[in-house]
Each structure stands twice: as C-alpha cells, then as structure tokens.
Chains A and B, each alone.
Chain A
Amino acid sequence: MTMTENTIYQDRVTLRLIQFAVVWAVVAMTAGVYLAAELIWPTIDFGQFWLSFGRLRPLHTNGIVFGFGVSALMATAFYSVQRTSHVTLFSPRLAWFCCYAWQLTVLLGGLSLLAGWNTTKEYAELEWPFDIAIAVVWICFAVVFFGTIATRKIRPIYISNWFYGALIIVIAMLHIVNNLALPVSLNKSYSLYAGAQDAVVQWWYGHNAVGFLLTGGFLGMVYYFLPKHAGRPIWSYRLSVVAFWAFVYSYIWAGPHHLHYNSIPEWVQSLGMVMSIVLLAPSWATLINGVMTVSTAWEKLRTDPALKFIVLSLAFYGLATFEGPMMAIRSVNVVSHFTDWTIGHVHSGALGWNAMITYGTFYFMVPRLVGRELYSTRLANIHFWMALAGTMLYIIAMWAAGVSQGLLWLSVDQLGELSFDFKDIMSSMTPYYLLRLVAGLVFLGGTVLMAYNLFMTMKGREPVAVTPPPVAPAFGVAS
C-alpha cells in the first residue's frame, strides 16, 4: 500500500458495493415479479421445486434485504463515515473482505434457499453455516466502522453515524440471539427456543430487522445524503438526536404486534401495540426534519434529478411509519392480519422508502465518485415516474385486495357461519394480482433503467482521489 492510498478516502470499495447493490436489486426484484406471476398462474413453476413459490419467496426477500439493502448500507456507511470523521477507512483490507465475503454469503445463501435449506424463520431463513458467516462478516463491518470512528480527526460524531452504529450493534444482537440453534447436519438445525418463546424471539428479531436495518440504517443514509444533496444543514440537529434515542428506545418493544391473537400472553401483545403507536413520534420527528431540510433547498430541484427521489421517499416513509402503528392496533389487525394489505404495507416501505432513498443516493454518489456527469438525466427522470407509478399501483392493488379479503374471510351469516369460501375468495383476487404484476414490472423496469444509467456513468472510470480536508481546531480531537 502506498502513502497516497493511506491519505485518500477509500472509495473503490464503496463503488464496488454500489455495483453489487444494483445487481441484487435487479435479481431480487425479478424474483419478486416472477412470484407475483406465480400467484396468478401457479403452474409456471413447471414442477421444479427450486422455482416454487415457497423457495423463490425467501430468495426475493433475502436478496432485497441482505443483497440490495445491506450492500447499499455498507456502501453509504463506508462513504459517509470517512467524510464525517475526516479520516480514511480503518483497515481497508477488512472493508474489502466485508464487501466480497458478504456477496458470497448472500449468493450461496440464496442458492441454499433454492435448494430447500430453510430454518422456516421469516427473514432468518438461512441455515446455520450462513448464520455464522453473516455474524463473522457483520463483526468485521463493525470493526471497520467503529475503527474509523475511533480514529476520527473531528470530535463530534455526526448523527448519521449514530444511526449506522445502531444498525450494526442491534442487527448483530438480533441476528445472533434469534439464530441460536442446535445443528444436526449441514443443512438442518433446531432453534434453541420452542413454541411461544420461539415466536416472540423471532418477531423481536423480525420487526427490529425492519426497524434497525430498513428504517434505522436508511435514516443514517438520509441524515448524511439529504443535507449534502440540499446543500443545507439538517433543519434541527437537536431534533435528530432526540428522535434517535426515542427511536432506539421504542422500536425494540414493538415486535409482538406480529403475534396479535396468538398464543402469547395478552399483556405482551398490548405492550407491543402501545410501543408501536409510541413509535410514530420519533418516526415523524425525522420525517419533519427531512421535509424541512429539503424545503429550503428547492432551487436544487432544477438541476438535481436525484433529489426528487429523496423527496418522494420521505412521503412514503411518512405513509409507512403511520400505517405500521395503525395496523398494530388490535382491532385493526384482527381484520388486516394475513391479508394482502400487509404485503402492500411492506412494499410501501420497501419500494417507496428504501428503494427510492437508495436510488436517490446512488444518483447522487456515482457521478461524484467517478467525477463525471450522470450519463442521462432524462433516463433518471423517466425512472422517477416509473418508480412512483409502480409503487402507487402496487399499494392500491394490495389495499383493495387486503380489505376485500379481511371483510370476506370474517363475514358471517345470522347463524354465525362463515359466509364465503376461502378458495373462492382467493380465486377472485386474480385481477388485483395482475395489477400488482404490472406494478412490479413497471418498478423493475425503472430499476433496470437506473442500472444502465449508472453503468454508463461509471464505465471505464476509477474513483476520484479525495483527501480529507483539514479540521478546524475547535472541532478537532484533542490528542
């Protein structure tokens, strides 16, 4: 390693992680579109086990959450932690290890899911060898991230790093505790927990994976890239710190709302419900902070196509973080649970919030990383409208399907007998599933446009060398 490499920001690993994230987005969304088609035409699995809904579905979710989501979070965390600490990455080799080891784990893990290895825990389907690999890579990620913070040249730890830090610590805790299991063979293990305890631990994991990875981690992205985009400081830094602690405190309790009317104690359900509603406050505090930051920087919209994605992602963040607490209320949940409304809710978060904020961030980062204008602003604008249309159509189709299912499943006649046959209700959902398939295709189409646009932007380019700027003495770390 030369001296220059020690004094410039390590951006090659960031660029590589962005490339992987885009590839995962296309692969996992294609799997999602195929699954949407299977729900309309069940025979298109052609009798192949690996192509069946049960095997392809975990590939879709794991590919999005761990392939696309985590790669994007690693990329943005590495990029922003260097710039907010005014220092290059701690142990760049370990960062490269994280990058490739993670991709290998997700790739082999995905193939194992297609082969039928499955713990049957949602979002934690990967079997024990992959769980160990994930834990090892994650700890390396923590070493790189916190090592960089520890060697920082600037005293304050910027708010985005608190969110990324919480992501790293809490996901490590959740992943390790939830996946404790007794292996019996290479592809089979038994969870350490049984019955209702297993359910509570699983949803403590499941909901906080949504909370700390898909919400907290991506909020780290917002807090760094939104002010950068807007060229303005965060509207209220104090509010962001208050929101962070309130968010961390309240999220961890919300898991049991996945288990309403199940065989867990009622007080646990009530606690989960109340804490889910409390969660609205810190979620919306961040929303207001984001909206107010961007509202002062409207001139930027003229020149920056990426800012639109971030503006819209905040609107969907607002929707999803309101919808969630509402669906956690037991009297709403009794109708909405197990219906397609839940799928719609997840996608208003995953498409409208996670994907859009990431797309906006990638359109911002890639031209800066390679020192070249975005290949086509027009394609980015078309992508924006495709992403918006796809998300809206998806949500509305699932709202209509979900409400119909909830109502029909529970309808009883005067004698108290169910009025409708489950099979008939499900077969009548085809038109909504067709709408959802169209929505998915439109959203995927936009993502492919972005992949092409970013590929053409970065084609044949290396990252620009950027050296950390000097630190004002008042903010420097006393040594």
Chain B
Amino acid sequence: MSSNIYTNLLFKSLYNPVDSFRDLSQVDPAPLQILLRYSIWLLLLPPFFAWIGASNFGWRLGAEEPLRLPADALLVISIGYLLVLLFGLVSTAFISRWMASTYGANKSLGRHLALVTMVGQPLAVASIAHLFPDVLVNVLVLIPTMIWSMYLLYKGIPIALETPPERGMLMASSLVGWLLVAAVSLLGISMALWALGVGPLLGV
C-alpha cells in the first residue's frame, strides 16, 4: 500500500477522492516524502502556466490592452507565486495539525500535508486556465473548482484524519476561515507591493 500511495494520491484523488482519502487513512507517510514526491509537482503547475500565459499574451483585466510586464519581472513574480503556494501549503498543513488536537483528529503531519495537497489538487490542475490570462476566464474556471475543493475538504477530513463527521465539519470550517484569511492577505500583500513599486507601474 505505502509503496504506491504517491501514485494513488496523484491520480486516484482526481477521479475517486473518497477512496483516496480512505487509502490515506491507512498510512502515515513521511512529510518530506509527500512534499517531494507529490505536492511539489502540483505546486509547480500554477506558476509555470502563469509564466507561459503572461509572457506570451499579457494579462487581460477587462481593458482593451493586455497588461504586459518585462520578462525578468515575470520570472520574479512566478518564483514569488511558487514560494507563496509552498508557504500556503506547508502552513495550512501545520495549522491543520495544530487544530487536530481540538477536533480529535489524527496528528500525523504527513497525512495533513497529503490531505491539504489532495484538497488543492483540482485547483492546481485547473490553473491551466492561467495559460489564457484573462481574469474573467480564470474566475469562471476557478470558482467551480474551488467549490469542488471545498467539498473535498469537508469530505476528506473525517475520512483521512479519522474524526467523526460533525467534528470534521467544525475543523473544515475553521480551516476555511484560515484559508479565506490567507487568500485576502495575498490580495493585500500584492496591493501593498504594487503601491511600493513592485510589479505593474502604478501612479501612486
């Protein structure tokens, strides 16, 4: 079981997530193994797609002219994007493990890391929309994907972390609270960076 858990996680979680959560509940994978053999490959997708899309077409925010940035700035932004995703994944896994004692869930860090990756996996795959860098297209693709990811979060916690569904529901809601705060922080940090002169040229 544990030898093919990574392949299982990577593919099965897309078409049969419930089974995949059940598989995860049988093992206690090493966190670093999960990160290097599973999570990191998915984390690379969004910055990669974003870099290709933005460097070839420029972001369309609704105005006629797409917003184009110089190649080196795009590279810095894409690397920054990767680091933010990495921080988001690891911090969410740690916070999830920290919450586990309150909600009577399993405390294996590897499992939390794998679970968070499985929840985020549809978003990583759907980030293929970044190849077409139009904000509206991305919103339209990513909103349904996000709803699916939220469903996976609520569904996955009780199974993979072995806690009653009601406690799992509370834990998932607490994590949603954290993720909303993280998302809005990302917006705020981006805006503060723009105002400070990093990224697009703004008249502030």
Contact = CB atoms under 8 A, between A and B. Distances in A.
Interface of A: 291-292, 294-295, 298-302, 308, 311-312, 314-316, 318-319, 322-323, 326-327, 329, 331-332, 334-336, 341, 389, 392-393, 396-397, 399-400, 403-404, 406-408, 410-414, 416, 418-421, 424-425, 428-429, 431-432, 435
A418 B63 CA distance: 13
B204 A410 contact: yes
A336 B191 contact: yes
Interface stretch (B87-95, B109-117, B164-172): B164-172
A294 B166 contact: no
The 9 closest A-B pairs by CB, nearest first: A428-B62, A315-B177, A301-B166, A412-B203, A335-B191, A410-B202, A319-B180, A404-B61, A331-B195
A416 B202 CA distance: 9
B201 to A, nearest CB: 6
Interface in B134-174: 135-136, 139, 143, 146-147, 164, 166-167, 169-170, 173-174
B143 A311 contact: no
A318 B204 contact: no
Contact of A432 (B136, B147, B166, B188): B136
A308 B6 CA distance: 35
A326 B102 CA distance: 28
Contact of B194 (A294, A335, A389, A420): A335
B180 A315 contact: yes
B64 interface: yes
B84 to A, nearest CB: 15
Nearest to A424: B63
A425 B62 contact: yes
B181 A322 contact: yes
Interface residues of B, number: 40
Given A318-B180, A389-B147, 6 more contacts: A298-B103, A298-B166, A301-B166, A311-B170, A329-B192, A411-B202
Nearest to A419: B65
Interface residue SS majority, chain B: helix
A285 to B, nearest CB: 15
B184 A326 contact: yes
Given A314-B177, A332-B195, A335-B194, A404 B135 contact: yes
B159 to A, nearest CB: 16
23 contacts: A291-B174, A295-B103, A298-B167, A299-B166, A301-B169, A314-B177, A315-B176, A315-B177, A315-B180, A329-B192, A331-B195, A331-B196, A334-B195, A407-B194, A407-B200, A408-B62, A412-B203, A413-B201, A418-B203, A425-B62, A425-B63, A432-B136, A435-B139
A231 to B, nearest CB: 14
A411 B195 contact: no
A315 B196 contact: no
A429 B176 contact: no
B7 to A, nearest CB: 33
B139 A332 contact: no
A420 B63 contact: yes
A311 B169 contact: yes
A429 B62 contact: yes
B76 interface: no
B185 interface: yes
A414 to B, nearest CB: 8
A280 B143 CA distance: 29
Contacts of B181: 318-319, 322-323
A322 B184 contact: yes
Contacts, number: 136
Contact of A298 (B63, B164, B195): B164
Given A336-B191, A400-B139, A315 B173 contact: yes
B187 interface: yes
B67 interface: yes
A393 B150 CA distance: 13
Interface residue SS majority, chain A: helix
A478 to B, nearest CB: 40
Contact of B201 (A322, A411, A424, A431): A411
B173 to A, nearest CB: 5
Given A311-B173, A315-B173, A410-B202, A331 B184 contact: no
Contacts of A316: 177, 180
A335 B204 contact: yes
A403 B200 CA distance: 13
Given A298-B164, A315-B176, A404 B62 contact: yes
A323 B184 contact: yes
Contact of B61 (A292, A319, A407): A407
A326 B62 contact: no
A428 B136 CA distance: 10
A276 to B, nearest CB: 13
A397 B143 CA distance: 9
Nearest to A313: B173
B14 to A, nearest CB: 23
B62 A292 contact: no
A413 B67 CA distance: 11
Contacts of B139: 396-397, 400, 432, 435
B202 A335 contact: yes
A420 B65 contact: yes
A401 B149 CA distance: 22
Contacts of B176: 315
B185 A326 contact: yes
Among B164, B166, B191, the most chain A Cβ lie within 10 Å of the Cβ of: B191
A312 B180 CA distance: 12
B170 A400 contact: no
A153 B100 CA distance: 42
Contacts of A414: 201
B60 to A, nearest CB: 9
A414 B194 CA distance: 16
A124 B198 CA distance: 40
Contacts of A432: 136, 139
Contacts of A435: 139, 143
B187 A411 contact: no
Contacts of A327: 188
B174 A335 contact: no
A421 B62 CA distance: 11
